[in-house]
Amino acid sequence: EPEVTQTPSHQVTQMGQEVILRCVPISNHLYFYWYRQILGQKVEFLVSFYNNEISEKSEIFDDQFSVERPDGSNFTLKIRSTKLEDSAMYFCASRDGTRGGNQPQHFGDGTRLSIL
């Protein structure tokens, strides 16, 4: 079964540094998402992406965050200048969208981001 893959599985970065989290969604999917989960808390929506643009973003997704689909397969989340509070597990998800009706989101295994 096709999977969403995320790299790296764990990223350790100094505060203030830029970090790029990478995701390869399922190949024929059209909708892409980033979520994050701070340790011990619930999963929170960051941003959704469709047709090469952001379709919705949360209050968390401020100017320090950006997303990109640089080629036909990768979907990246960039944090420009990391803060301690950015430490979390970041999940990428994708959804088909080519067929009518609702389809489930498929999640990657996550990237654990640790800011020192």
65 binds other proteins (CB under 8 A): no
Is there a contact between 49 and 67 (Cβ–Cβ < 8 Å)?
A: yes
Instruction: Report, in Å, the least distance between residue 35 CB and other proteins.
Output: 7
61 binds other proteins (CB under 8 A): no
Identified binder of other proteins from the candidate list 31, 61, 65, 75, rule CB under 8 A: 31
Q: Which stretch, 19-27, 31-39, 67-75, 76-84, contacts other proteins (CB under 8 A)?
A: 31-39
50 binds other proteins (CB under 8 A): yes
Cα separation, 43 vs 36, in Å, equals 6
- Name which of 93, 92, 84 is nearest 113 in CA terms: 84
Cα separation, 33 vs 75, in Å, equals 9
Sign of the dihedral through C-alpha 40, 79, 51, 107: negative
Site residues, other proteins (CB under 8 A): 31, 33, 35, 37, 41-45, 48, 50, 55-56, 89, 91, 95, 102-110, 112
